[in-house]
Structure 1
């Protein structure tokens, strides 16, 4: 291929990418059309930016802070939509995202309502994030809840002994190793880990209760859980017992005893019944138009990406415009190629 052809295809490619972003920016900055600003938040909640050579980025404040800021600053926005699908992850990153949302709602007091549309799963840290929104909407099949803390652990002591392997770990502090998988379990270390988990759990519950406390129906959840376990079928007596334990007579504190906060997961329908979520939806865009008007356009916020990231994102799926650019930018990309091609060659015989 000649240098002229390389230059031509390079200019077409560059023009396509530029036009794609230009078309996207026009949609975001259009002050006439009412917009529902969408941010898709999926995957495990963890620290780090992720690889520049493809694959999804972890869900954390570092990767989503600018998108959240931009969503709240968008002109003529009627809603900020978070499409959430996450099983949870880091307690710290979950807390940071939760706090960021609350901060933005205070920073922009005239900002539109923030709606969480939960898809496959919205559990643990995913629910932590969703609870900071004005409303939580779920599919009937969404799995939601899991308000709890887990610390997976294995022990290899007997296996090591069987194969003649000895642990020779050295420390300069008696609590440095903690509940180590290569050492016999130490009661003090286990107690210390339990105390940390309980503290994290109480903080999690406290944030969720502060955000949605009045919406929770602990009594209905307790009655349902007993019936599922076969302890008793639903009746007036069991429901009144639930009210006494978790309902209107429930004293301050002790929320960690509620079946809504014991790590249980519920389907979308039960989540709405128990106050973990607000509404059932079937189609996000249709629901948005029903709530805010048929003229509303759902516009997705995109993270700015380097050329390397654009061309290598989702590398496993092949070269080209990666998923991270989204459908709208991809459409603009190909429109840009067409425009540049026609400008360069359209008038030639």
Structure 2
């Protein structure tokens, strides 16, 4: 009896791809990009041994500076431990905390029409002092600590509150600036007053300012480096067992998440 010999099919290199998409941060019972939500998939992607590269795709208008920093630090920690090179790609928008995440890349890419930057800090809210007065509502609050009721929307803003808020924002803005400087080094070519003003640029202008290295899409860049036999392995967030069991019961929360995220992207005309 003759046996036919089968040669194994050639298989191209595999590059893990992690997509970080959405508003950064979360409130109780709400979805969002947090370290807790993405830590497992980051660990899986960096554990892949086919190549020495991990691709990170960022599509975020920003959010929590703390979660932005935690996720970015986790990416760098895994890259150093696993000796991986990180290629970070901006999709529609990598602004504010989204740009913080993009800076986790050893090389940073954008589409020429991506929105990049917004290196600043913002705080927004509403005041209801006149509204509750017209409704005949009396505001009652008791607190220990003269600054405990900071920026209470049901009382007029005080100069002391605004001064404290300015101080907090200045500290966060300084940390953001130092992070960008540390990651981009001498590649920044624009004036500090321009780059750190909080504005956004198209991908093409961001490249001219040194905010990103190259214009290009993930597949084009990766295939140019690894060949046409390249395979991409996507890693994404998964819903928990409880979320899957709840099914339609969680629809209200998901719609609220979607509305909040839509408003955040709308700030950039998306």
TM beyond 0.5? yes
Q: With structure 2 as the length reference, what TM-score do the two structures score?
A: 0.81
The aligned counterpart of 2:256 is none
The aligned counterpart of 1:149 is 121
2:200 maps to 1:277 = no
| 1:311 shift after superposition | 7.7
Q: Which runs of 5+ in 2 are unaligned?
A: 1-9, 252-270
- For 1:161 and 1:48, locate their aligned partners in 2 and report how far apart those are by CA, in whole Å: 30
| 1:157 shift after superposition | 1.8
2:39 maps to 1:62 = no
The aligned counterpart of 1:195 is 167
2:18 maps to 1:39 = yes
Conservation of the 8 A alpha-carbon contact between 1:98 and 1:128: yes
The aligned counterpart of 2:229 is 295
Question: Secondary structure in 2 aligned to 1:259?
Answer: helix
2:172 maps to 1:166 = no
The aligned counterpart of 1:131 is 103
Distance 1:127 1:191, change over 3 A: same
Map 1:207-286; keep pairs closer than 5 Å: 207-218=179-190, 246=191, 255=192, 258-281=193-216, 283-286=217-220
- For 1:49 and 1:77, locate their aligned partners in 2 and report how far apart those are by CA, in whole Å: 38
Q: Which runs of 5+ in 1 are unaligned?
A: 1-30, 52-56, 219-245, 247-254, 317-349
Conservation of the 8 A alpha-carbon contact between 2:23 and 2:33: yes
The aligned counterpart of 2:151 is 179
Question: Secondary structure in 2 aligned to 1:121?
Answer: strand
- For 1:50 and 1:81, locate their aligned partners in 2 and report how far apart those are by CA, in whole Å: 29
Which digits, 9 at most, give the CA deviation of each residue in 1:154-207, with x for residues without a partner?
222233333333322221211100122111211111101110010011011111
For the aligned residue pairs, the C-alpha RMSD in angstroms reads: 2.4
Which shifted more, 57-66 or 31-40?
A: 31-40
Distance 1:96 1:186, change over 3 A: same
The aligned counterpart of 1:323 is none
Distance 1:182 1:50, change over 3 A: closer
| 1:208 shift after superposition | 1.2
- For 2:96 and 2:226, locate their aligned partners in 1 and report how far apart those are by CA, in whole Å: 30
The aligned counterpart of 1:27 is none
Which digits, 9 at most, give the CA deviation of each residue in 1:14-55, with x for residues without a partner?
xxxxxxxxxxxxxxxxx964111101110000136866xxxx
Residues paired across the two proteins, number: 241
Bigger fraction of residues in helix: 1
Which shifted more, 300-309 or 164-173?
A: 300-309
Distance 1:80 1:43, change over 3 A: same
| 1:105 shift after superposition | 2.1
Indicate the structure (1 or 2) with the bigger Cα radius of gyration.
1
Conservation of the 8 A alpha-carbon contact between 1:44 and 1:88: yes
| 1:295 shift after superposition | 2.0
The aligned counterpart of 1:11 is none
